[in-house]
Amino acid sequence: MSLQTKLICSAASAIHAAIITHKPDIEPLDQAIGDGDHYINVLRGAEVIDSMADELLSLGADEALNKIAMKLLSTVGGAAGPLYAGFFMGMAKTIKHNGGNSHLDIAAAFAAGVQELIKRGKGKIGEKTMLDVLLPAAYTFIFSAIENKTTAEIRDDINAAADKGLESTRDLVATRGRAAGLGERSIGHLDAGAKSCQVMIKAVCDLALKIK
Amino acid sequence: MSLQTKLICSAASAIHAAIITHKPDIEPLDQAIGDGDHYINVLRGAEVIDSMADELLSLGADEALNKIAMKLLSTVGGAAGPLYAGFFMGMAKTIKHNGGNSHLDIAAAFAAGVQELIKRGKGKIGEKTMLDVLLPAAYTFIFSAIENKTTAEIRDDINAAADKGLESTRDLVATRGRAAGLGERSIGHLDAGAKSCQVMIKAVCDLALKIK
Amino acid sequence: MKKFVNNVDNMLTESLSGFEKAHSDLVLLHLEPNYLTRKTKAENKVAVISGGGAGHEPLHAGFIGKGMLDAACPGQVFTSPTPDQMMAAAEAVDTGKGVLFIAKNYAGDVMNFEMAGEILSIKNATVLTSDDCAVINSTFTDGRRGVAGTVIVEKCVGSYAEAGADLATCKVLGDKINAQTASIGVAFTSCTVPAAGKPTFKISETEIEMGVGIHGEPGRKRETMREADAIIKDIVDAILTDLADKAKSAEVLLLVNGLGATPLMELYLIYNIAEKLLQEQGITIIRSLVGNYTTAIDMSGASITVCILDDEIKKHWDSPVHTAALRWGV
Amino acid sequence: MKKFVNNVDNMLTESLSGFEKAHSDLVLLHLEPNYLTRKTKAENKVAVISGGGAGHEPLHAGFIGKGMLDAACPGQVFTSPTPDQMMAAAEAVDTGKGVLFIAKNYAGDVMNFEMAGEILSIKNATVLTSDDCAVINSTFTDGRRGVAGTVIVEKCVGSYAEAGADLATCKVLGDKINAQTASIGVAFTSCTVPAAGKPTFKISETEIEMGVGIHGEPGRKRETMREADAIIKDIVDAILTDLADKAKSAEVLLLVNGLGATPLMELYLIYNIAEKLLQEQGITIIRSLVGNYTTAIDMSGASITVCILDDEIKKHWDSPVHTAALRWGV
Ligand SMILES: Nc1ncnc2c1ncn2[C@@H]1O[C@H](COP(=O)(O)OP(=O)(O)O)[C@@H](O)[C@H]1O
Ligand SMILES: Nc1ncnc2c1ncn2[C@@H]1O[C@H](COP(=O)(O)OP(=O)(O)O)[C@@H](O)[C@H]1O
Ligand SMILES: [Mg+2]
Ligand SMILES: [Mg+2]
Ligand SMILES: [Mg+2]
Ligand SMILES: [Mg+2]
C-alpha cells in the first residue's frame, strides 16, 4: 500500500465522519475533567481538512500533509491545534524523505508525527493525554510492519493498542493539559484527546483495509 | 371595649405571630405577580412593632399609634411602609380626637387610618391592592358598630368582609403597585398586600374577642 | 439558593461596608439610617441624591462621585429606602442650594421619597424616571417603571449640578431626558431574592419573559425562546414605537444593560444587532454604554435603552465623571 | 441553554463586531485572522499583545487602549487563538521595538503563542501568567493556570511599555508581578459553553467547587456549601500560604473578581470579609478592584487575587489607562 494524496483526502473524510458518529462518546469526556470544547475543536479540524480535497489533490503527499498541518494550526486552536499540526508536519517530513510506499514507510511517518507532537507538547506516556493512545499505536504499527503482517493484521494490532492505551487513561492522574488541575479527581475518567485519537485511528485503519 | 396602649401592644404581638404562621400563604403571592419581598417587608414591620412595648406602654394610645407609624415608616420601606405608616397616623389622629372607648370609636379610627392610607397611595377599590380588603373591612366595622352588634358579631362581619375582599382581588387586573406592569397576566392571583391585611385583621379580631 | 452570604439580615450592611472599603477614595458609608455620600462634600452646588432598593448594583451607590451623585440611599433588596434615609442624606450633602432627588417610578419609592420631600426643611425637588415602555402608561395607574435609563438621568443631571445649574433647571433637564428615553428588558431566568431563598418565578428552557422589570416582576408576556435577532428586533421596534417622532433621524445613546448573569459577550452581540436595526431606521448612535449598570440581582437577561440626544444632553453625558462604576475624563 | 445568540458558529464574530462598534473610539476589529488593535497605533514603544479563548470577557479585548494592550487575539470560546492571529496582530502593532505577548499558562495557549513567537520575524518575548494557586505547581506538569491576576500583569506591563521600557524590561516586570500574585476561585454553578449547549458540570444546591478554573474545569475539591465567612477564609488562607513570606506586612492589591453571574452586592460582601482577614494578618490593602474582569461565561462564583505591591508595580497600576473595561487618569 502507498500513501498518496488521494488516500489522505479519503482519510480526512473518514475521520470527519467518524468524529461526528462518535460525538456522544467524545464530548462528555472533556466536560467531565476539561473545559468541554474538545469535541468542537476536533470537529472544526476534521471539517476543514475534509473540505480541502480540491486544493490538495494536485499536491504531493508531503506537500498535502504540510498544507493540512498549516490549516489545522490556524483553525483548531486550543491544545489540540498545535499538537495535530505538529503531527502532520512530522509525517510530512518523513514521507518527503522516505516516501510512503510500504507499511513500514507509513508507520515511520506516523511515528515521526507522534515524535513531533511530543516535542510540541513536552508530554510523555502516562500523563493521561492523547499520547497514551498515539505512542502505543505508533510502536505497534512499526513492529507489525517489520513483521510483514497483512493490512488486516496490522489494523487489528493498532486498534488493540489504541483501545488498550485509551483504557489506560481511565485510572491515571492527569499531569498534563487542563485536567491536571483536578489532581486525583481526574481518576476514573477517560481522556478526551485519547478517545478522539482512538476514533480517528480506527477510522483510518478501516479505510486502509477497504482500499487494499 | 376600649383601645388602650396595652391592647395595641397585644395586637402587635398577635399580628407578629399571625404573619409568621401565614408565611406560606403570603410569600408566594408577591413572588407570582410582584417582586417577592412583601412577606419580608411585613414581617420586618411586625417584628419591630412587637418589640416596642417597653417604649409604648407609658404613652397614650394616640401617641403610641403615632410612634408606631414613625417606626414603620423608617423600618418597612417599599410601598407597604408609607401605607402602613399612613394608616397608623390616621388612626392616631382620630383616637386623639374621639378617644377609643367604644366599638364605633375604634371603627372610626380604623376608617380614618384607611382614609389616610388612600391619600398616601392615591389608590381606590378594585385596583388589586390591600385596599380591596381594607375598605370593605372599614365600612363593615362602622356599620356593624352602628347596629350595636356584639364583639363576636362584629368580628364575624369584619372577617367575612376581609375574606370577600381578598377573594375579589383574584379576578382583578392590577392597575396599581408593581403587579400593574403585568396587565391581564395579573388575573388569577390574589394580591399579596390584600392577603397580609386579611391575616392581620383576623388576628386582631380574634384578640379583641379574647380580651372582652 | 447559593449566594455569598453569612446571614441574610446582615447581607446589605456587609456589602455596603465592603463597597465603602473598596472605594475608600470615593465614598463614605453612614449607618442607621443607611446612606452613602461622597468622601469629600461638594461645595456650592445642588446636591443630587438617588436611592432605591438594593439588588440593582452598581445602581445607585456606584454612581456617587464627582460629576454624578452626591449621595445614595439603599433600601433592602428590592424595597424602597425609608424617608429617614433620604432626610439624613439630604442634611449631610445640602450646600444651601437645595437637593434634587432622583427616584425610579414605583409606588413604594415614590411614596417614600415624597414623604421625605414633604418633611424636609431643605428646599428640594424630585425627578421620577419612568423609561420602561414595556408597561403601558395610563393616568389611572402608577404609570411606567424606571429602569436602566435612570443611569443616563443621574449622569447628566449630576453633571449639570456640578456645572452650577440651580435646582429647578436640574429638574427640568432630568424630566427632559426621562421623556426622551425608552427601555425594555427581557429575562431568561428569574432572580433570587436572598431573603426569599428561591427564584421569584419559574420559567422553562424554551420561554422568555418579555418586558420584564428589574425586580423579577414578570413582564407583560411570556414568549417562546428564539434567536437573538428576533428578540432584539421586537425590543427595538417597541422602543421606536414608543419614542415615535422623537426618534426620526435622531442621534441617540444606545445602552445595552445586563440584568446580572448575562455575559458581556452576549451584551455586545445584542449591541451589534440593535445598532444595525437603529441604523436601518435612519437613527445614528453617537454614544454607547454596554455592561451591567442596572441589574436585577442574578437574573439572566438584558435590557435595551435608547436616549435621544441633543447638544445639551450630549455635553453632560461626555463631561468628566469619577465614580465606582462610571469613570471618564478624570 | 438560553443565550442571546443567532448561530453558535457566528457568535464570536457578531459579538466582536458589537464590541468594535460600541467602542469605535478605542478599537479596530480585524477578521480572518481575528484580532483587535487600538484605533490609533501607538508609536515608538514595545507592543503588548494578549489573547486567549473567548468567554472571559472583558479579558482581553476590553483592555486594549492607551496604557494597557496594543492588541488582543480572541480564540473560540475557551480555546486558545491560533498562531496566525498572534502573527497578524504583531505585524500590525509592532513599532520596531518588539512585541511582548502575555498569555495565560494553559497547554494550548502556551503552544500557540510559542509557535507564533518562533515563526515571527519581529523580536518578541512572552510573559506567562500562572497566578492560580489552587493548582499545585510541579515541574512534571504544565504548572499553575493563569486566571484573574492576568489583568494586573496586563495593566502594569502595558503602563511600563507606554512609559518607554524596552522589551526585556517589560518581560521582567511581567514575570515579577506574576511571581507575587496568587488567586483562587470558587464556583456555585457550572458555565455553559455555547457550542456544547449544556452546563459543563453538574453541582447540587449544597455543593461548591473550590479552586475552580475559569473554563468550567472542575476545581481541586467538591466541598459543602457554607457561609461566606468560611468560604472566603479558606481561600484567603490558601493564598497567604502560597505567597508565604512575601505577604508578611505587605502592601497589596486585592482583586475580587466575579466569574460571570455573581452580583456586585455579593462581590463587595466578599471584599469586606477578605479585607478583614488580610488586615488581621498585618497586610494592608492599598489598591482594590471589584467586578467582573476575568469571567467564565455565565458561571456563578468569584475569585480572589492578592498581588504584593511595591513602588514600581503601584506606579504602573495607578498610571492612566483608557480601555473599554478599565479607565482612569484620562
Ligand atoms: N501537552 C500535551 N501533550 C499531549 N496532549 C495534550 C497535551 N495537553 C493536552 N493534551 C491533550 O489535549 C486534549 C485537550 O484538547 P482540547 O480540549 O481541544 O484543548 P484545551 O485543553 O485547550 O481545551 C486533552 O484531552 C489531552 O489529550
Ligand atoms: N398605591 C397603593 N395603594 C394601596 N396599596 C398598594 C399601593 N401600591 C402597592 N400597594 C400594596 O402593596 C403591596 C406590595 O407591598 P410590598 O411588596 O411590600 O412593596 P413593593 O411593591 O414596593 O415591593 C401590594 O400587594 C399592594 O397590595
Ligand atoms: Mg478542552
Ligand atoms: Mg413587593
Ligand atoms: Mg419591593
Ligand atoms: Mg479549551
C37-65: per-residue pLDDT in tens? 999 999 999 999 999 999 999 999 999 99
Cα separations (Å) of B198 from B122, B139, B164, C120? 21, 15, 10, 34
- Helix%, strand%, coil% for chain B, nearest 5: 75, 0, 25
D195 touches chain A (CB under 8 A): yes
Burial of B60: CB neighbours in 10 Å, binned 0-12, 13-18, 19+: middle
Q: What pLDDT does residue D138 have?
A: 55
CA distances from D254 to B170, D211, D236, D278, D291 (A): 52, 18, 11, 9, 12
Structural domains of chain D ordered from first start:
11-179 (3.40.50.10440), 181-317 (3.30.1180.20)
pLDDT at D330: 84
Lowest mean pLDDT among A208-212, B165-169, D68-72: A208-212
Residue C179 has pLDDT above 70, yes or no: yes
Q: What is the model's pLDDT at position D265?
A: 98
Q: Mind listing the pLDDT tens digit for each residue in B106-159?
A: 999 999 999 999 999 999 999 999 999 999 999 999 999 999 999 999 999 999
Flag if C75 and B77 touch (Cβ within 8 Å): yes
D153, pLDDT greater than 70:
yes
The atom of ligand 2 lying closest to the CA of B191 is 25
Rounded to whole angstroms, the Cα distance separating D57 from B71 reads 46
Chain C, window 204-223: residues with a beta carbon less than 8 angstroms from a chain D beta carbon: 205, 208
Which chains have 3 or more CB–CB distances shorter than 8 Å to chain D?
A: A, C
Quote the pLDDT of residue C141.
65
- Side-chain-side CA neighbours of C81 within 13 Å: the count stands at 32
Q: What are the grid coordinates assigned to B66, written together?
A: 403615632
CB pair distance less than 8 Å for A181 and D217: yes
Q: How far is CA C33 from CA B80, C73, C86, C89, D180, in A?
A: 18, 9, 9, 9, 41
Sign of CA dihedral C19, C21, C25, C27: positive
pLDDT at A68: 98
Residues with CB under 6 A from ligand 2: B 30, 34-35, 37-38, 41, 78-80, 83, 121-123, 129-131, 176-178, 191-194; C 79-80, 106-108
Q: Chain C within 8 Å of B38 (Cβ-Cβ)? A: no
Ligand 3 centroid from CA D263, angstroms:
28
Residue range C212-222: mean pLDDT, rounded: 87
User: Average pLDDT for residues D9-13, to the nearest whole number?
Assistant: 97
Q: Is the pLDDT of residue B4 over 70?
A: yes
Mean pLDDT score of chain C: 96
Instruction: Tell me what pLDDT residue B184 has.
Output: 86
Copy the grid coordinates of residue C84: 429617614
For D291-310, what is the mean pLDDT? Answer: 98
CA B111 to chain centre: 11
Query: Which chain C residues have a beta carbon less than 8 Å from that of B79?
Result: 80, 106-108, 111
Residue A181 is predicted with a pLDDT of: 80
> Could you tell me which chain D residue has the CA closest to the CA of A183?
D220
Q: What is the pLDDT of residue C282?
A: 97
Nearest to D113 by CA among B147, C37, A81: A81
Q: A34: burial class by Cβ within 10 Å (0-12, 13-18, 19+)?
A: buried
- Tell me the residue type at A65: L
Using a CB-CB cut-off of 8 Å, the residues of chain D touching C297 are: 263, 265
Q: 3-class secondary structure for C262-294? A: CCHHHHHHHHHHHHHHHHHCCCEEEEEEEECCC
DSSP state of A173: P
Please answer whether residues D27 and D61 qualify as being in contact, where contact means their C-beta atoms are separated by less than 8 angstroms: yes
Q: CB distance from D310 to chain C under 8 Å?
A: no
Query: How many Å lie between the alpha carbon of C214 and the closest alpha carbon of chain B?
Result: 9
Interface check for A33 against chain D (CB to CB < 8 A): the answer is yes
Give the pLDDT confidence of B147-182 residue by residue, as tens digits: 999 999 999 999 999 999 999 999 999 999 888 888
pLDDT reported for residue A212: 59
Question: Is there a contact between B75 and B44 (Cβ–Cβ < 8 Å)?
Answer: yes
Quick one: which of D38, D292, D321 has its CA closest to C290? D292
pLDDT at D225 over 60: yes
Q: Give the neighbours of chain A: at least 3 Cβ pairs within 8 Å.
A: D
For residue B177, the CA-to-ligand 2 centroid distance in Å is 5
User: Minimal CA–CA distance to C70: which of C78, C58, C61, C79?
Assistant: C61
Give, for D36, the enclosing helix (H) or strand (E).
Answer: strand D35-38
The closest ligand to the CA of B177 turns out to be: 2
Mutate-to-test residue for ligand 2 from B44, B130, B166, highest number of ligand atoms within 8 A of CB: B130
For chains B and C, CB pairs below 8 A equal 127
CA nearest to C83 within chain B: B74
Task: State the average pLDDT over residues C158-186.
Answer: 98
What's the count of helices (H) and strands (E) in chain B, helices before strands? Answer: 10, 0
Determine the pLDDT at residue B212: 59
Indicate which residue of D23, D60, D215, D316 is catalytic. D215
Q: List all residues 6 or more positions away from C158 whose beta carbon is below 8 Å from its beta carbon.
A: C48, C63, C67, C68, C69, C321
Residue B210 pLDDT:
87
CA distance D160 to chain A (A): 29
* Residues ≥6 apart with Cβ < 8 Å to A110: A91, A137, A138, A141
Q: Give yes or no for a contact between A169 and A197, defined as CB atoms under 8 angstroms apart.
A: no
D23 belongs to the catalytic site = no
- ipTM reported for the complex, 2 dp: 0.93
CA dihedral sign of residues A62, A68, A74, A77: negative
CA–CA separation, C145 and C78 (whole Å): 13
Please compute the mean of the pLDDT values over residues A105-118 and round it to a whole number.
96
Q: List the Cα angle C39/C42/C45 in 5-degree steps.
A: 155
Lookup result for grid cell 387610618 = B113
Residues 261-290 of D with CB under 8 A from A: none
Q: Is the pLDDT of residue B211 over 60?
A: yes
Amino acid (1-letter code) at residue C93: V
Contact A86, A72 (CB under 8 A): no
- Please say if the pLDDT value at position D228 is more than 60: yes
Q: Work out whether the CA dihedral D262, D264, D269, D271 comes out positive or negative.
A: positive
Q: Would you call C36 an interface residue with chain D, using a CB distance cutoff of 8 Å?
A: no
Strands D47-54 and D27-30, bridge-based pairing: unpaired
- Contact predicate A196/D231, CB 8 Å: no
Active site residue C215: yes
Of C143 and D197, the structure prediction assigns the larger pLDDT to D197
Q: Which three cell numbers stand for residue A119?
A: 516535542
State the pLDDT confidence band at A18, using cuts at 50, 70 and 90: very high
Chain A stretch 88-127, residues whose beta carbon is closer than 8 A to a beta carbon of chain D: 120-121
D37 touches chain C (CB under 8 A): no
Task: Name the residue of chain B whose CA is nearest to C79's CA.
Answer: B78
Mean pLDDT of chain D: 96
Mean pLDDT over C23-44 rounds to 98
Whether A175 sits inside 8 A of D193 (CB atoms) is: no
pLDDT digits (tens, 9 = 90+) for A184-204: 889 999 999 999 999 999 999
Distance (Å) from the alpha carbon of D289 to chain A's nearest alpha carbon:
26
- Residue C180 pLDDT > 70, yes or no? yes
Q: Looking at residues D153-173, what average pLDDT do you find? A: 98
- Mean of pLDDT values over C65-84: 97
Chain C 15-74, residues with CB within 8 Å of chain B CB atoms = 33, 53
Q: Using the mean position of ligand 5's atoms as its centre, give its distance from the Cα of residue C210 in Å.
A: 20
Q: What angle do CA D280, D281, D287 make, to 5 degrees?
A: 90
Q: How far is CA D7 from CA C269, D142, D194, in A?
A: 11, 34, 10
Lowest mean pLDDT among A130-134, A191-195, B174-178, C122-126: B174-178
Catalytic choice (C23, C60, C215, C316): C215
Which pLDDT belongs to residue D140? 58
pLDDT of residue D41: 98
The mean pLDDT of D205-227, rounded to a whole number, is: 92
10 Å CB burial of residue B151 (0-12, 13-18, 19+) is middle
Between CA B183 and CA C219 the distance in angstroms is 9
pLDDT value at residue A211: 80
Which three three-digit cell numbers place residue C296?
436585577
Q: Which of residues 40-59 of B touch C (CB under 8 A)?
A: 40-41, 44
Confidence of residue C66 (pLDDT cuts 50, 70, 90): very high
Phi, psi of C251 (to 5 degrees): -100, 130
Per-residue pLDDT of C289-314, as tens digits, reads 999 999 999 999 999 999 999 999 99
D15, D265, D326, best to mutate vs chain C, most C CBs in 10 Å: D265
The domains located in chain B, with CATH, are: 3-211 (1.25.40.340)
**CA nearest to D55, candidates D183, D200, D188, D169:** D200
pLDDT number for residue C139: 53
- How far apart CA D285 and CA C23 sit, in angstroms, is 12
The answer on pLDDT for C142 being more than 80 is no
Whether pLDDT at D139 is above 60: no
A74 vs chain D: nearest CA distance in angstroms?
5
Band (C84; pLDDT cuts 50, 70, 90): very high
Count the neighbouring beta carbons within 10 Å of the beta carbon of residue A5: 19
What is the percent of chain C where pLDDT is above 90?
94
